[in-house]
Structures are given as C-alpha cells and as structure tokens.
Amino acid sequence: MHHARKSKKKAKPKKKPAKSSSPPAKALRLTFSYDGDKVKLISQQRTEMIVPPSDPVTGFRQQKGFWAEVKSESDKTLYRQVMHNPTRNDAEVFPDPDTPGAGISREPAPQRKGVFVVVVPDTEKGNEVTLSRSAPDETGPESGIRALASKPATEILRFKLKK
C-alpha cells in the first residue's frame, strides 16, 4: 500500500514589515495651478513610482517656507515635502557673461501664473493633503512687490486624496 507521505510544509519565514522609512512604490501625482496667490488642485493621478523620502514630520510648525503634507484621518503628518515656493512673486535672473562680476539676482514678477506638481506616497493611511506657505511680510523694511516671506507658514489648501 502506498502511503502518501505527509510532508510538513516548512513554515515560510514571515516577511519583515517594510521599514517606515522605505518609500512605497505607489504614488499620486498632484498637479496644481496658481495665479498670483491663488492655488488650486487640477488633478490627482495614480502612478507606480518611488517617492523620495519624507522631510522631517515634526518640529516644523514655526518654520517659514513652502511644503506639502500628507495627513492621516487623525490629522497626523505622515509625509512632508519641503519645496522651493513655486508660487513666489519674483523670479531668479541669471547674469550675462559679458557683465563682469554679475551674479544671480531676483526681480519682482507679480503677475506669475502656472502649474506645479507634487508627488506623494499613495498609502492606505493617507487621507488628506495640505499645502502650507509663508506670506510675504508686508510690514517689513521692504514691503510691496519686493517683500519676502518671514513668518511661519500657514495652511493655504487642503483636500482629500483620491481613494
């Protein structure tokens, strides 16, 4: 009689959970338009790609600048991307090599409009995205179109992530 040999299946080693710092391979490409100070979301597109690791998600509330955050349902910051303000009201101008000693400079560009893109991880926990920006300092020594941001950033846009 032939006995089928019962083989005990070797238990597969449990997969180690992914480190929290390892970036997910799924992402959402968020496209925004801006016209002066106004920023709006145009589209959210799912794509399979690695997203660069997060910038610090704590200790930044009093900082100035521009950033995007992915928030959980309880409003915890899960991912943050610090950006060079894409909506700023001035532009970088590069020197003519015929002008000796000239360096990069900035020129006011108050009528700027355009689009910018932020790619964020597409995870189950991600619920909303916020954009934060410091406003130009209108009370400083250089007010008007040459004013620069100096105060902590405040939230300018919040929306739900596509599920």
Partner 1 sequence: MGTSDGQVLGSTKIVDAGPATARWNVVITSEGYRSDEMALFAADAQQFADTLLRTAPFDRLKAAINIFRVDVTSTDSGAKDPKKCGGTGAKPRTYFDASYCTNGIRRLLVAKNSRVIKVINKQVPQWHVAFLSVNSQIGGGSGGGVATFTKFFAGIDVAIHEMGHTAFGLADEYEYYSNCFESGHNKHSGSEPSQPNITTNKNRDTTKWRNLIQATTPVPTTKNADCNKCDPQPSPVAVGTIGLFEGADYYHCNVYRPEFDCRMRTVTQPFCAVCQQVIVKKLTPFLPT
Contacts with partner 1 by CB under 8 A lie at 22-23, 25, 29, 31, 33, 45, 47-50, 52-53, 55, 60, 62-67, 81-84, 86, 90-94, 96-97, 103-112, 114-117, 119, 134, 137, 140-142, 146, 148-153
Q: How far is the CB of 3 from partner 1 (least distance, A)?
A: 45
Please check whether residue 55 is in contact with residue 82, taking contact to mean a CB–CB distance below 8 angstroms.
Answer: yes
Tell me the three state secondary structure of residue 91: strand
Q: Least distance from C-beta 138 to partner 1, angstroms?
A: 13
Task: Return d(Cα 59, Cα 72) in angstroms, integer.
Answer: 17
Cβ atoms of residues 64 and 140 within 8 Å: no
How far does Cα 123 stand from its chain's mean position?
Answer: 15
The length of the chain is: 163
Query: Least distance from C-beta 140 to partner 1, angstroms?
Result: 7
Residue written as token pair 């032939």: 2
Q: Would you say 31 or 72 has its CB closer to partner 1?
A: 31
* Nearer of residues 13 and 110 to partner 1, judged by Cβ: 110
